[in-house]
Amino acid sequence: MNLAPWHLGFHWQLAIFSLACGIASYYYPEGWIHWLVYVLFVITAVYMLTKFRLYKQNLWRRKHAQGTQIFAKLAREELAAAKKEQRDVNIPPLYVRLATNLLAPEHSTEFCNSDLLTESGRKEYYQRLVDAYPIVFTSKVKPEYHERALASIREDIEASQYGHDIVIAVAIEKAYGPVEATRYLLAMASGLTTRNGLFS
């Protein structure tokens, strides 16, 4: 079954598990088994609905999930190859491979031939998003704090390190537009894409 998590926000295995719990609770109408599977059914159902709602509201989550999973797979392959060949892990080429997998051919070629593969190019790209769409960062901030909020995000960009996020950001821009890519930048700065936040 080819139902990737970035289509709905959750893995199809979880949907099957939730369905199985629902069926089990029907066939065991009494006793502790009924309540156990019923509680599991409710928890997984609420989780799936929440994830689906987030994915419908935030389009960037789809490309983020897709790109992160692809990059994780590429990283595992590189780690295995480096171990087999007894060499150091070489991460930079993985960004090119990620672009090839995540972007359309014409966009992938454009990305790989641009300065976005450099540290300065990545930062300039993000800074341009901040300059072009400041409202994304200030919409929930009091007017007197707008400049401080924008200065803070610019500082975070300059302090951040190169990563596969730039490929995902470009993929989001190509798929959903620059405003959504800017929302992705805000999400990274806010820590919504990783446990600690990309720019922490």
Tell me the domain boundaries of the chain: 5-57, 60-190
Mean pLDDT in residue range 135-157: 93
pLDDT digits (tens, 9 = 90+) for 38-79: 888 888 888 777 777 666 667 898 899 889 989 999 999 999
Mean pLDDT in residue range 139-165: 93
| End-to-end alpha carbon distance in the chain | 37
Model pLDDT, residue 80: 95
Does 140 or 33 have the greater pLDDT score? 140
Model pLDDT, residue 54: 66
In this predicted structure, the answer to whether residue 177 has a pLDDT above a threshold of 70 is yes
Question: How many CA atoms lie within 13 Å of 5's alpha carbon, on the beta-carbon side?
Answer: 15
In this predicted structure, the answer to whether residue 111 has a pLDDT above a threshold of 80 is yes
What is the overall mean pLDDT for the chain? 85
Are 178 and 133 contacting, i.e. CB atoms less than 8 angstroms apart? yes
Name the pTM for this structure: 0.74
**What b/e readout covers 14-23, taking b as 16+ CB neighbours within 10 angstroms?**
bbeebeebbe
pLDDT digits (tens, 9 = 90+) for 100-110: 999 999 999 99
52: Cβ–Cβ under 8 A, 6 or more apart, which residues?
8, 9, 10
Q: How confident is the model at residue 5 (pLDDT cuts 50, 70, 90)?
A: very low
